[in-house]
Amino acid sequence: MGEFELIRRYFLPLAGRQESGSLILGPGDDCAIQRIPAGRDLVFSVDALVEGVHFPRNYRPDYLGWRALAAAASDLAAMGADPECFTLALTLPAVDEQWLEDFSMGLRKASEAFGLELAGGDTTSGPLTLSLQVHGTVEQGAGIRRSGARPGDLIAVSGTLGDAGAALDYLSEPAPSADMLAVLERYHHPWPRLDLAGAIRQYATAAVDISDGLLADLGHILSASGVGARIESARMPLSPALVRLKGEKALDCALRSGDDYELCLCFSRENWERAPESLKRQLTVIGFVDAEPGLYLDGVDCSLEAVPAGFDHFRSEL
Amino acid sequence: MGEFELIRRYFLPLAGRQESGSLILGPGDDCAIQRIPAGRDLVFSVDALVEGVHFPRNYRPDYLGWRALAAAASDLAAMGADPECFTLALTLPAVDEQWLEDFSMGLRKASEAFGLELAGGDTTSGPLTLSLQVHGTVEQGAGIRRSGARPGDLIAVSGTLGDAGAALDYLSEPAPSADMLAVLERYHHPWPRLDLAGAIRQYATAAVDISDGLLADLGHILSASGVGARIESARMPLSPALVRLKGEKALDCALRSGDDYELCLCFSRENWERAPESLKRQLTVIGFVDAEPGLYLDGVDCSLEAVPAGFDHFRSEL
């Protein structure tokens, strides 16, 4: 199969699916063209995923398609942006039709679930690597940055943390228990919190998505905002499955493992008080922002842990 | 060196360089933010480059930085778009500081030459692969597409063709002649024809950049426009260096080899007549668009050659 046939068969069905979208020219030309509505800004982010680094070798291609787009879309959620479209740069060792069919199916499900239309891309021969760039929009000036946290702000996280990290221990489990299946599902099918984007841009002062672990990602907010934080381990939202599987180590998963794609958010007390219950119900307050630098967990400074250490083990965004 | 330090040292200097740009939030947050001026559309394209496929193994990193951005920017030129910014997804086998310094220097030179500011990116551990997405803008509705060619239009190309393709034979030449150096320079430092973008969107009916070879890329215009073409080999613009190096095979380089990043353009006769001499001087008319399908070179149909054959040897854009 030639490359153009490959694209026509597996990827063009992902284009032109969002009728209300801002894309006015999709795949098939030198460039795509997007018309940003008046009064709105373009918000965009690129994520690279490498086999053996960001996902296991011989990982199920339908899961890969979903996870890759979910991970990228999570950055839009963290800005409070509404999703629009995405591009895909895919390098593949060989044309494996079954792999392509499964991969594109997972990608299509995610594309539909997240409201992200395929705008264009590039497919080449090479080691299995993906690079996805997602485009969203926000009202001008409404994008939530990492730098907006102020002393006294409350710090909250969405959902529960640590499940996806714990799942790494069970990827090869031949007969997984119900609890294992629950955390594996969090790893294989993360849901970026795009549902919270509208409320976030209305009430949050700062936001980051949790892709490298809570301590590391909260650390990004603190350094960008020039503040410190005090958080409490007893407040950390842990799923029952995680607690049953990991016992005392559940907290460690919640603090230090990534891949959950939940959000870490800051709110002024005033905003928190007037935020709707529908938002608060999905969040857990874990501490507050402090003028004094440092990331204190139960009174102990763990700032150094918040600094990602090695090139090999972290994906880091410019 | 950690990844954040790597980014700070080598890539942040490429951000924030274009004072008049539309980028309002650059690298360092979950997403970048671009404000598209009122009345303009966003134009964007992604290119993936893999070591050993799109550039030689152990290729000079400063050349790689330039070529990668030049190749991507060429797609903006082909739409008649004005350059704004770009993202870079880079996977590297290891942190080699000399390599990074040289690569980022080549990338910075191209960034300044083409007016493309770094907006964000992702750096990860993995096989040497790059993915660059370039962003430009055009007045709403002014982007030039592949599908606008009409029977009777003149077909023209910019510059001279085939030099970069011929250079592949001399990449390992220990003592290259002046002619070899001339074509090697075209390969190592292509100049996307952004200088023509303004005139193109005013006068051209269709455009494509020549990255896979004239026959293949003109073929894209013909199929997108539902037309045929008749071109003449005697009209093909060949550099003196190419003719001296390749003799009778020079034409073959011009027709079938890529990497020159010149443009292939169509013009209605009316537009051609009123186009300024400053534009025409940089173009060579090589034939005309025909209602009858087929790509006829000196009267012989070579449409089949215009269809890229294999997955391994072509980069193809979605």
Average pLDDT per consecutive 10 residues, chain B (318 residues; last block may be shorter): 78 74 89 95 96 92 98 97 96 92 96 95 93 97 95 98 96 96 97 95 96 94 97 98 97 94 97 96 98 96 70 43
Which residues, other chains included, contact A281 with Cβ-Cβ below 8 Å and sequence gap of 6+?
none
Closest residue of chain A to B27, computed from CA coordinates: A318
> Nearest 10 degrees: CA dihedral of A245, A251, A252, A254?
90
Instruction: For residue A1, give every residue at least 6 positions away whose Cβ sits within 8 Å of its Cβ, in sequence order, or none.
Output: A9, A95, A97, B311
**Tokens standing for residue B115:** 């007016």
Domain assignments of chain A as residue spans, ordered by start: 3-139, 146-306
Place of tokens 């990534």: A258
Reported as a single tens digit per residue, the pLDDT across A197-234 is 999 999 999 999 999 899 999 999 999 999 999 999 99
A317 at the B interface (CB within 8 A)? yes
- What is the per-residue pLDDT across A244-257, written as a single tens digit (0 to 9) for each? 999 999 999 999 99
Q: How far is CA B9 from CA B5, B91, B104, B210, B316, in A?
A: 6, 17, 10, 35, 33
Within 8 A of B6 by CB-CB distance, chain A residues are 311
Please identify among residues 82-111 of chain A the ones whose CB lies closer than 8 Å to any CB of chain B.
87-91, 95
Q: What is the DSSP letter of A192?
A: -
User: Quick check: A61 pLDDT over 70?
Assistant: yes
Contact A79 B31 (CB under 8 A): yes
Instruction: Provide the annotated binding site of B for substrate.
Output: 54, 259, 311
User: A residues 63-82 near B, CB within 8 Å?
Assistant: 75-76, 78-79, 81
Query: Does B3-139 match B146-306 in CATH topology?
Result: no
Q: Is B258 on the interface with A (CB under 8 A)?
A: no
Question: A151-173 burial, b if ≥16 CB within 10 A, otherwise e?
Answer: eebbbbbbbbbbbbbbbeebeee
> Considering Cα of B153, then B205, then A13, then A126, what sign does the dihedral take?
positive
pLDDT at B318: 45
Q: B3-139, superfamily in CATH?
A: PurM-like, N-terminal domain (3.30.1330.10)
What residues in A contact B2, CB-CB < 8 Å?
A: 307-311
Instruction: Indicate the residue of B7, B47, B315 with minimum beta-carbon distance to A316.
Output: B7
> CB of A33 within 8 Å of any CB in chain B?
yes
Per-residue pLDDT reduced to its tens digit, A70-126: 999 999 999 999 999 999 999 999 889 999 999 999 999 999 999 999 999 999 999
- Known binding residues of B for Mg(2+) are 30, 45, 47, 75, 122, 209, 212
Residue A122 annotated as lining a ligand binding site: yes
Q: Is A202 on the interface with B (CB under 8 A)?
A: no
Say whether A122 and B140 touch across the interface (CB within 8 A). no
Task: Tell me the pLDDT of chain A averaged across its residues.
Answer: 92
- Please judge whether B44 and A126 are an interchain contact, meaning their C-beta atoms are less than 8 angstroms apart: no
Residue with structure tokens 């770009």?
B86
Question: Residue ranges of the alpha helices (H) in A11-84?
Answer: 61-79
DSSP state of B179: H
Identify the closest residue of chain A to B85 by CA–CA distance.
A44
Q: Taking CB atoms and an 8 Å limit, are A120 and B146 in contact across chains?
A: no
The closest CB to that of B129, out of A91, A224, A309, belongs to A91
**A&B contacts, CB < 8 Å:** 268
Contacts with B, A 138-157, CB within 8 Å = 138, 140, 143, 145-147
Nearest CA-CA distance, residue B245 and chain A, Å: 31
Q: Give the count of beta carbons closer than 10 Å to the beta carbon of residue B64.
A: 23
pLDDT score recorded for residue A73: 98
Nearest chain B Cα distance for residue A282, angstroms: 21
| CATH assignment, B146-306 | 3.90.650.10
Q: What is the pLDDT of residue B308?
A: 55
Q: In this predicted structure, what is the pLDDT of residue A19?
A: 57
Cα–Cα distance measured from residue A50 to residue B9, given in angstroms and rounded to the nearest whole number: 23
> B271 CB contacts (<8 Å, ≥6 apart)?
B203, B204, B205
Burial B193-203 (b: 16+ CB within 10 A, else e): bbebbebbbeb
Q: What is the token pair recorded at B63?
A: 């050349």
CB within 8 Å: A27 and B318: yes
The DSSP bridge pattern shows strands A117-125 and A82-92 to be parallel
- What is the per-residue pLDDT across B188-206, written as a single tens digit (0 to 9) for each? 999 999 999 999 999 999 9
Looking at residue A314, its pLDDT comes to 38
